[in-house]
Amino acid sequence: MSQAFYQNYKLGILGGGQLGKMLIQSAMDYNVDISILDPDANAPCKNIAAEFNIGKLTDFDTVYEFGKECDLVTIEIENVNTQALKKLREEGVKVFPQPEVIELIQDKRLQKQFYKENDIPTSPFILTDTKEDVLSNADFLPAVNKLGKEGYDGRGVQIIRTESDLSKAFEAPSLLEKLVDFETEISVIVARSEKGEVRTFPSVELSYHPVHNLVEFLFAPSTISEEIEKKAQDLAIDVITKLDMVGLLAVEMFVTKSGEVLVNEVAPRPHNSGHQTIEANFTSQYEQHLRAILDMPLGDTQALIPSIMVNLLGEDGYQGLAEYEGLDEVLSISGVNVHLYGKKITKPFRKMGHVTLVGHDTATLKENARFVKENLKIVSK
């Protein structure tokens, strides 16, 4: 690592949301000055970054002018202008993850084709360009119809179980993926540094909200067998290596009833499925991302203690200045770690924070996680 790093080293992050915020919390331990670019003047990072710039992440000039002042640029969201990142790289600014990786992941169609071409197990799929294309593949159902671009947090995804659901199909370039009858959904976060060191975190198990397609609980460790764990770990390493990527990659996977492990989607940045590593692992995903992109040795990923992460979503039916109900009750529980993201405005199902519960007894942990879910509410008066 360059010795210059410690004086006036500037790391630019595209995006100033909660992931950027937690990345700053971690970067504070390494003297790195952080410069943020975000379109929202009230983004969570607004008060804690050395520099906070307001601007569009998809605009070439905005991203280029921002990046020119940085030694290294990284992302906390994929929807950014990669042309500007390529130009910055040509001009000597380090960019991790690489712009080509971001482009591949921005488009779920390219992502799926990459898996296919590189022998990475994934569910069968068909590329569709119109609603008509979907309709003509009724024999492929039950399936999931996903927009190629700009799907996010449950948007741009439709489950098409039977022909009666076909009216929901997207009239745009999409994927039609065979619905996987999975046993468990897991995530493995893997990091790779510039000098090629690779380390995976233990897998975690995701539990989705039945309606809103957002992670509601996350369990670490997952309950999968050692054999499946090994498969999942190897698969995560395989994906990041084949992507030739530097940085942190969250690999979401399905474990099927027959014990297959299939890659669902990946994200080349700190991820919702790694929040619990802040308290529950030797190294957090945020520090690991920094270590990877700053070419430091990667950290030990072992868990210290079992954990459950609960996403705090804006309560349905409330929109406006955020208020928090039940916080004192929740803070009275041992092992509760509350993270409020500092978003001014709450909206139904908006990610407003998360709680990580740690503890040695799994039954108590589950009971406490349920209590948090039921008692901590984000509302507006």
Q: Which stretch binds a second copy (CB under 8 A): 55-63, 181-189, 261-269, 289-297?
A: 289-297
The tokens describing 14, both together, are: 């595209």
Contact with a second copy (CB under 8 A): which of 207, 256, 337, 364?
337
Contact between 41 and a second copy (CB under 8 A)?
Answer: no
Contact with a second copy (CB under 8 A): which of 324, 347, 364, 375?
324
Nearest to 96, CA basis, from 76, 68, 124, 114: 76
Contact between 30 and a second copy (CB under 8 A)?
Answer: yes
Q: For residues 97 and 75, is the Cβ–Cβ distance under 8 A?
A: yes
Question: What whole-number distance in Å separates Cα of residue 61 and Cα of residue 204?
Answer: 39
Q: Which stretch binds a second copy (CB under 8 A): 92-100, 122-130, 214-222, 328-336?
A: 328-336
Contact between 24 and a second copy (CB under 8 A)?
Answer: yes
Instruction: Return the residue matching tokens 């119109």.
Output: 130
Q: Which stretch binds a second copy (CB under 8 A): 18-26, 129-137, 174-182, 363-371?
A: 18-26
Q: Give the three-state DSSP class for 11.
A: strand
Find all residues with CB under 8 Å of 153, minimum gap 6, and list them. 214, 351
Contact between 358 and a second copy (CB under 8 A)?
Answer: yes
Site mask, a second copy, residues 302-321, x = CB under 8 A?
x-xx---------------x
Instruction: Determine the distance from the C-alpha atom of residue 263 to the mean position of all C-alpha atoms in its chain, rounded to a whole number.
Output: 14
Question: What whole-number distance in Å separates Cα of residue 196 and Cα of residue 234?
Answer: 16
Instruction: Determine the distance from the C-alpha atom of residue 76 to the mean position of all C-alpha atoms in its chain, rounded to a whole number.
Output: 8
The tokens describing 304, both together, are: 């210290």
Q: Give the three-state DSSP class for 154.
A: coil
- Give me the least distance between CB of 52 and a second copy, in Å please: 11
Q: Which stretch binds a second copy (CB under 8 A): 42-50, 128-136, 236-244, 260-268?
A: 42-50
Catalogue the long-range contacts made by 97-100 (C-beta closer than 8 Å, 24 or more residues apart): 97/245, 97/246, 97/247, 97/249, 97/268, 97/269, 98/244, 98/245, 98/246
- Across-strand partners of 12? 35, 73
Question: What whole-number distance in Å separates Cα of residue 82 and Cα of residue 78?
Answer: 9
- Give me the least distance between CB of 279 and a second copy, in Å please: 9
Contact with a second copy (CB under 8 A): which of 58, 326, 338, 366?
338
**Residue 374 marked ligand-binding:** no
- Give me the least distance between CB of 8 and a second copy, in Å please: 9
Contact between 48 and a second copy (CB under 8 A)?
Answer: yes
Q: Which stretch binds a second copy (CB under 8 A): 122-130, 132-140, 144-152, 293-301?
A: 293-301
Contact between 166 and a second copy (CB under 8 A)?
Answer: no
- Give me the least distance between CB of 361 and a second copy, in Å please: 13
Tell me the site size for a second copy, rule CB under 8 A: 45
Phi first, then psi, for residue 199 (nearest 5°) are: -140, 140
Query: Which one, 175 or 189, has the nearer CB to a second copy?
Result: 189
Kindly give the interhelix angle for 82-90 and 99-106, rounded to the nearest 10 degrees: 170
Question: What whole-number distance in Å separates Cα of residue 53 and Cα of residue 311?
Answer: 28
Say which amino acid occupies 33.
Answer: D
72: enclosing H helix or E strand: strand 72-75
Contact with a second copy (CB under 8 A): which of 13, 228, 292, 322?
322
Nearest to 264, CA basis, from 125, 363, 369: 125
**Residue 76 marked ligand-binding:** no
Query: Which one, 258 or 334, has the nearer CB to a second copy?
Result: 334
- Give me the least distance between CB of 54 and a second copy, in Å please: 16
Would you list which residues are annotated within the binding site for ATP? 108, 146, 177-180, 185, 264-265
Interface residues toward a second copy, by CB under 8 A: 1, 3, 6-7, 21, 24-25, 28-31, 33-34, 47-50, 282, 291, 296-297, 299-300, 302, 304-305, 321-324, 327-328, 331-332, 334-342, 344, 358
